[in-house]
Structure 1
């Protein structure tokens, strides 16, 4: 039998680990895995690692700027950066957009705006905010969101109508009850707003301006306190939760403890927490500012231990770009808090995890692919297995290069990874059997990406979630 496409001679990351084998694709799906497969089209992957395309479960795009953020990252450039970086699908956050994605009207606007602008596949988070508790959660469920997102830290611009807002305690409690009924996961930005805001005000009043000063105003315990609150609320409401971008070992340990007690909770960390440390920040500048902040070397070492042990379920970019003017300041407290990083998810992680620390290919495939796909029920994504979408990132190992600004596909070419030597390269990205990036041709001009919509869960699906939770525990 001849297949439409066969990828031959590569080291393929299967669910049991790396295997030298062929992979066949027909009609955008993986149809066979084995030796000596024949294809009408053949990609020779000799010397390459054939990885599942990354599922980045934390990406901010601004398709609608509302007259306020019109020059921020849109779908065209954001998904092009994904394609070049080996990210074949991502979970899109409901904020940075104006209006925020909080109800039927706003998510329909997002779907409409994204038509013919996606180079990779996109699943959506709906927002949990104080002003959408009267039907917005249910509307988002019906319109196909794959999860929900809320902030315990202060966020949003109150002068902008329709911007995102952080929750108060009642909104968190009531929102969790409503999200629990959908059976979907609530992702949480967990930092204590009252303490971090006040510490920031005091530091600014004292004339402090450095990134190290900024880190000191967001100590690790402010993450831990918020994570504990979220877990406690989850126990009261039965809501499935996920803690975003954990930057301290103590926060991860709270999640591990709660999971052992039967709470359906997972957590992620970000590539930048595993790559940069506090003592490097001021030399790099505000382009590396984020929240929670990048912490000390000891915290990074501890995060790596928890990635390797499985305490951290997966790794994301938290790609949160802005315009250059919002980073162009000598005062760290005034700079926009977000890092542009989605284009370097795969190459940096492969270099840092597999090449430098000896992570198995099996685990690498899990933390960039199958684990986030499973958590958000992106059932066709995240693994190289017969019947799944034919999404691949072809990685050239031991191939160092230095990232230059003009190599970035972002609308605004700023990133803390510029000038960094990265020890592996993504040489080709394939989405549902179609090459969307190659080193010789670049990113394709077409837009084959699609929105992934997960409608309301059936009773059977909710029962399957409970069974999966029991396995986790």
Structure 2
């Protein structure tokens, strides 16, 4: 007998099934259909709600401030948002994930603490050892991440071009992408110093202090380094349409070049929102002005591999200075990724079916394929029972309503067209308006492709 049957509007790779059902056993989807459902130990009817593959957030920072203990609150936030797998960045406190020993420690924490599945980025030090890189690949990391800008000398260093080439050489034939935080350090530091000297330290000064040329310069150099060795060069966040154009030009040459979009670039505008949200909206690269429609066009044209949140839930005390250069960059996004993207997709397409299909493609299928998570990202027999239930209906988002989450959000006050009402991880319901499972059913999601 099946363990669980879920009823609702199934969002499948080939289209929606209005009165559908999913059969789950042993943590996997084993059957699906329309109309009469088979018997199961438990049946839950979600009515007219959308049943989607659980979102896969390809860019989160669980350990940047709390170390491995941050896996628990971060995956709780994921469950609240209908995200069933996070792909966590390697810049943990106090040590970044550069060796198999450190990776194994993080995996042990995942198995103990995670409410959702966790796939992992690894990184390299400024003088990398190819043996460490090979070991991390064998241990199942989903990708590597480096930065052209130093946010911290040990935890988040700038990786020079020589080390980048070493990384691409060590990954030859492994198939793993290398993601880049794409800002030119010399440009940013020179411009920020000029702004500070001139007393230009307000929230509206953040974007021009990190000008588009800083992104374009770093992106172009990295793409050429990857192309020289046939490596997969990936840009983890681009804030301007010209950056995606540059990636597309390289991909058109047959190079392994790709880029992702972050939700905040699609929903916020610096001129419109920085005056009221201020430091809450500080991210790097910055929110720009007047580019949202052009960035959404990138999505419609297939120019982004997937959409992520870049979730980093700093305490508000890290956002309290009146000097924009003295506050931390980053903001929560796991709870709002799925409803925020679906809402904007619905507004632009005017169709529930089209919006749901685009949401599944950008938040589940795309990242599953990119990170080699073969059993995730789709509602199909044989796939893991990682499922998000999205209930339609206008709601004004308020982070304070879910105290298990991040406690604050730049998305507070936005009206969403739907809200995640239930989240299932490996067939276990972890969210239905509250964190309901005493279990922590999340596991380490190894790259399998």
TM-score, L = length of structure 1: 0.89
Question: Given the superposition, is the C-alpha separation of residues 442 and 303 from structure 1 closer, same or farther in structure 2, using an over 3 Å criterion?
Answer: same
- The aligned residue for residue 191 of structure 2 is 199
Post-superposition offset of 1:397 = 1.4
Note the alpha carbon deviations across 1:49-88, whole angstroms, 9 max, x for none.
Answer: 11110011111111xx7xxx44897111110110111000
Aligned counterparts, 1:359-438, within 5 A: 359-410=354-405, 413-438=407-432
- The aligned residue for residue 256 of structure 2 is 264
Matching of residue 215 in structure 1 with residue 207 in structure 2: yes
Note the alpha carbon deviations across 1:284-319, whole angstroms, 9 max, x for none.
Answer: 12111000100012x111010111111112100000
Supply the distance in 2 between the matched residues of 1:221 and 1:231 (Cα, whole angstroms).
Answer: 15
- The aligned residue for residue 39 of structure 1 is 39
Do 1:56 and 1:316's aligned partners in 2 also have CA atoms closer than 8 Å?
A: yes
Note the alpha carbon deviations across 1:195-244, whole angstroms, 9 max, x for none.
Answer: 01110111111111112111001122221222111111111011112211
May I ask how many residue pairs the two structures share in their alignment?
442
Post-superposition offset of 1:398 = 2.6
Post-superposition offset of 1:406 = 4.4
- The aligned residue for residue 186 of structure 1 is 178
Supply the distance in 1 between the matched residues of 2:303 and 2:289 (Cα, whole angstroms).
Answer: 20
Post-superposition offset of 1:443 = 4.0
RMSD, matched Cα: 1.8
Secondary structure in 1 matching 2:300: helix
Match of 1:13 among 2, 11, 14: 11
- The aligned residue for residue 90 of structure 1 is 86
Note the alpha carbon deviations across 1:18-56, whole angstroms, 9 max, x for none.
Answer: 222211111111111112221321111211011110011
TM-score, L = length of structure 2: 0.94
Question: Given the superposition, is the C-alpha separation of residues 320 and 301 from structure 1 closer, same or farther in structure 2, using an over 3 Å criterion?
Answer: same
Supply the distance in 2 between the matched residues of 1:237 and 1:119 (Cα, whole angstroms).
Answer: 39
Matching of residue 232 in structure 1 with residue 224 in structure 2: yes
Question: Given the superposition, is the C-alpha separation of residues 118 and 288 from structure 1 closer, same or farther in structure 2, using an over 3 Å criterion?
Answer: same
Post-superposition offset of 1:181 = 4.3
Question: Given the superposition, is the C-alpha separation of residues 310 and 134 from structure 1 closer, same or farther in structure 2, using an over 3 Å criterion?
Answer: closer
- The aligned residue for residue 277 of structure 2 is 284
Do 2:72 and 2:114's aligned partners in 1 also have CA atoms closer than 8 Å?
A: yes
Post-superposition offset of 1:362 = 2.1
Supply the distance in 2 between the matched residues of 1:283 and 1:364 (Cα, whole angstroms).
Answer: 29
Secondary structure in 2 matching 1:246: coil
Q: Which moved more, 1:193-202 or 1:442-451?
A: 442-451
Question: Given the superposition, is the C-alpha separation of residues 92 and 70 from structure 1 closer, same or farther in structure 2, using an over 3 Å criterion?
Answer: closer
Do 1:12 and 1:51's aligned partners in 2 also have CA atoms closer than 8 Å?
A: yes
Do 1:97 and 1:163's aligned partners in 2 also have CA atoms closer than 8 Å?
A: yes
- The aligned residue for residue 116 of structure 2 is 120
Post-superposition offset of 1:273 = 0.7
Question: Given the superposition, is the C-alpha separation of residues 356 and 283 from structure 1 closer, same or farther in structure 2, using an over 3 Å criterion?
Answer: same
Matching of residue 309 in structure 1 with residue 295 in structure 2: no
Post-superposition offset of 1:422 = 2.2
Supply the distance in 2 between the matched residues of 1:251 and 1:346 (Cα, whole angstroms).
Answer: 24
Do 2:9 and 2:17's aligned partners in 1 also have CA atoms closer than 8 Å?
A: yes
Secondary structure in 2 matching 1:424: strand
Supply the distance in 1 between the matched residues of 2:32 and 2:179 (Cα, whole angstroms).
Answer: 35
Do 1:72 and 1:322's aligned partners in 2 also have CA atoms closer than 8 Å?
A: no
Secondary structure in 2 matching 1:413: coil
- The aligned residue for residue 444 of structure 1 is 437
Q: Which moved more, 1:119-128 or 1:320-329?
A: 320-329
Matching of residue 139 in structure 1 with residue 135 in structure 2: yes
Do 1:319 and 1:342's aligned partners in 2 also have CA atoms closer than 8 Å?
A: yes
Note the alpha carbon deviations across 1:132-173, whole angstroms, 9 max, x for none.
Answer: 3353212211222111001112221x3xxx523121121112
Supply the distance in 1 between the matched residues of 2:14 and 2:158 (Cα, whole angstroms).
Answer: 41
Question: Given the superposition, is the C-alpha separation of residues 405 and 376 from structure 1 closer, same or farther in structure 2, using an over 3 Å criterion?
Answer: same
Note the alpha carbon deviations across 1:105-148, whole angstroms, 9 max, x for none.
Answer: 21122123333200000011000331333532122112221110
Post-superposition offset of 1:449 = 0.6
- The aligned residue for residue 294 of structure 1 is 287
Name structure 1 gaps, 5 residues minimum. Answer: 456-460, 462-473
- The aligned residue for residue 24 of structure 1 is 23
- The aligned residue for residue 74 of structure 1 is 70
Detail structure 1 runs of 4+ shifted over 3 Å in the superposition.
Answer: 69-73, 355-360
Supply the distance in 2 between the matched residues of 1:278 and 1:320 (Cα, whole angstroms).
Answer: 19
